[in-house]
Amino acid sequence: MGMFCYQCEQTAQGKGCMMAGVCGKDANTASLQDLLLAVTKGTAMYAHRARALGAVDAGIDRNVIENLFTTVTNVNFDPDRLSALIRTAVEKRAAAKKLYEAACAKAGKQPETLNGFATLAPAADIPGMVAQAAQVGIEHRKKLYGEDITGLMELLTYGLKGMAAYADHAAILGKEDAAVNAFFHDALNLLTHEKQTVDELFTYNMKAGEVNLKIMGLLDAGNTETYGHPEPTSMRVTAVKGKCILVSGHDLKDLYALLEQTEGKGINIYTHGEMLPCNAYPKLKKFKHLVGNYGGAWQDQAKEFEAFPGAILMTTNCIQKPRDTYKGRIFTCGLVAWPGVKHISDRNFAPVIEAALAAPGFTADEPEKRIMMGFARNAVLGVADKVIDAVKAGAIKHFFLIGGCDGAKSGRNYYTDFAQGVPNDCVILTLACGKYRFNKLEYGAIGGIPRLLDVGQCNDAYSAIQIAVALSKAFNTDVNSLPLSMVLSWYEQKAVCILLTLLSLGIKNIRLGPTLPAFVTPAVLKVLVEKFNIMPTTTAEADLKAILPNAQIKMAAAHA
């Protein structure tokens, strides 16, 4: 059976994956994810109404968030695990229904009769579930609502998925918020309505952006209260001799647990991808065997993991189909899953450690190379006076936020060219794995302030926003009037929720690339352009000249 998915930037032909996902998921996996989302909407229908009557259940709240996160691109590719999650979701939906009915009885009111999302009964086996999914997927909604309404529904859905990823990380560190849980249920409930309007969906998308800022704040608090504020750090990006484990994904708690379990065992730990910023957290970098970062962004993992002579741990999304050459020494944990890959469910990483000890490890030190990172909000705001003075003195003419998701699709060399073309009197803020396009190049400094400031992971957009807000207050202006331009790349749903956050704050003139989302139809794009002047990237040189018309723009040679 076929599928339809257009939730990521690399969707086939810029329209939609219909036979298999460019990400690597097959049609069965895509269908099971659609069905899981449908059952979860039914849970939210009951939970939303129960909450209005004062009844809540923490287990139901967590299940909704985990189910959403599970369907983010590059998280769970395992049909067996997905079918089990669907059955668990049905149980949670039944619990939510019971909660709602009990709350109604207590309030002396009659329960509402809800639509099919509340009663959908998944088949007993995977083929049956896959067949059912056709009645709840995107193409079915297109027939019901048309392209524009469906696109806005999917924009909200993908925003919720990205938010759920951050909410899950925050909850793992003990940071939750009742209003956040309420919005997940409210928004999912909206998506079950038989009639949808552009105005209501647009309003909810902006509300999603507001709530996501709160979620990123919760995660920031969880990370910094647990592991300390990131510090400017010189980090090694070349290998050292010895046994080794490579940790990819986003989850700091998983990394901390692994560091504790490997201490004194003669195993060096390297970060990969979005885990790079972990090297700047005081309570993580105190472990001497956290020796630095290996490799680059997620899309290069196949060749990098094959070359890595140790064990590999995937903590969150970003996994690709493992090659046979390293499938026996790659492990997943949390919500990540790939068929045939060993899963660690309890943070007991003994199998990972055993695989690392059995592997050859690096047989010699590579020539040492280091880069600076760790410029999150606390570090930057700690020298805000110097930054402000440099702007007032004319030493810093402009700030560029160049960040977001990386990907394998052609066109992303734009971001390398753009960063290299930024004039020497400008500062670059960067975050997420898109920085791997240019973060190992030399940029120098302005009055002791590095011209490239690595803010952190994608969720550290919260830090970047706080820096922008602090600058706007210092100059007594709004963010849109600052000498600040945002040039963003997107790949998956966490980038979507961050974009919604920026739009909800009223930030305009964002350049987005390398292509615009397939689910943003021309009519929806027209609204975004009119309200926010959001625009697609063109060429690095043209965009730089448009932003800084009076500057001398010198572009580097074109990249292969």
237-279 per-position pLDDT tens digit: 999 999 999 999 999 999 999 999 999 999 999 999 999 999 9
pLDDT given for residue 2 in this prediction: 85
Q: Write out pLDDT tens, residues 93-150.
A: 999 999 999 999 999 999 999 999 999 999 999 999 999 999 999 999 999 999 999 9
Dihedral angle at the C-alpha atoms of 71, 74, 79, 83, nearest 10 degrees?
A: -20
Domains of the chain: 12-225 (1.20.1270.20), 233-358 (3.40.50.2030), 380-547 (3.40.50.2030)
User: Is 445 a residue whose pLDDT tops 80?
Assistant: yes
Whether residue 426 contacts residue 398, with contact meaning beta carbons closer than 8 Å, is answered with yes
Q: Please report which confidence band the pLDDT of residue 411 belongs to, taking 50, 70 and 90 as the band edges.
A: confident
Q: What is the DSSP string of 371-414?
A: EEE---HHHHHHTHHHHHHHHHTTS--EEEEEEE---SSTTTHH
Question: How far from the centroid of its chain's Cα atoms is residue 106's Cα?
Answer: 41
Q: Write out pLDDT tens, residues 1-38.
A: 589 999 999 999 999 999 999 999 999 999 999 999 99
User: Is 52 a residue whose pLDDT tops 50?
Assistant: yes
DSSP annotation of 197 reads -
pLDDT given for residue 554 in this prediction: 80
Cα-Cα-Cα-Cα dihedral sign, residues 78, 81, 84, 88: negative
pLDDT given for residue 560 in this prediction: 37
Structure-token pair, residue 255:
């990394």
Q: Write out pLDDT tens, residues 72-94.
A: 999 999 999 999 999 999 999 99
Question: Largest alpha-carbon pair distance within the chain?
Answer: 74
Whether residue 4 contacts residue 58, with contact meaning beta carbons closer than 8 Å, is answered with no
pLDDT given for residue 182 in this prediction: 98
| Residue 17 β-bridge partners | 5
User: Is 559 a residue whose pLDDT tops 60?
Assistant: no
Whether residue 543 contacts residue 418, with contact meaning beta carbons closer than 8 Å, is answered with yes
Whether residue 169 contacts residue 251, with contact meaning beta carbons closer than 8 Å, is answered with yes
Looking only at the bridges linking them, the beta strands covering 445-446 and 449-450 are antiparallel
User: Minimal CA–CA distance to 494: which of 69, 17, 174, 151?
Assistant: 69
- Nearest-5° angle of CA 195, CA 197, CA 200? 115
Mean pLDDT for the chain? 96
pLDDT given for residue 551 in this prediction: 87
Query: Mean pLDDT over residues 284-292, rounded?
Result: 98
Q: Please report which confidence band the pLDDT of residue 155 belongs to, taking 50, 70 and 90 as the band edges.
A: very high
Q: Write out pLDDT tens, residues 493-535.
A: 999 999 999 999 999 999 999 999 999 999 999 999 999 999 9
**What is the spatial distance between Cα 38 and Cα 118, in angstroms, rounded to a whole number?**
9
Residue at token pair 């492990």: 331
- pTM listed for this prediction: 0.97
Cβ burial, residue 487 (10 Å; 0-12/13-18/19+): buried
- Coil, strand or helix at 453: strand
pLDDT given for residue 423 in this prediction: 97
Q: Write out pLDDT tens, residues 534-546.
A: 999 999 999 999 9
Cβ burial, residue 426 (10 Å; 0-12/13-18/19+): buried
User: Is 557 a residue whose pLDDT tops 70?
Assistant: no
DSSP annotation of 76 reads B
**What is the spatial distance between Cα 119 and Cα 43, in angstroms, rounded to a whole number?**
10
| Residue 470 β-bridge partners | none
Percentage of the residues of the chain whose pLDDT score is greater than 90: 97
Q: Write out pLDDT tens, residues 313-352.
A: 999 999 999 999 999 999 999 999 999 999 999 999 999 9
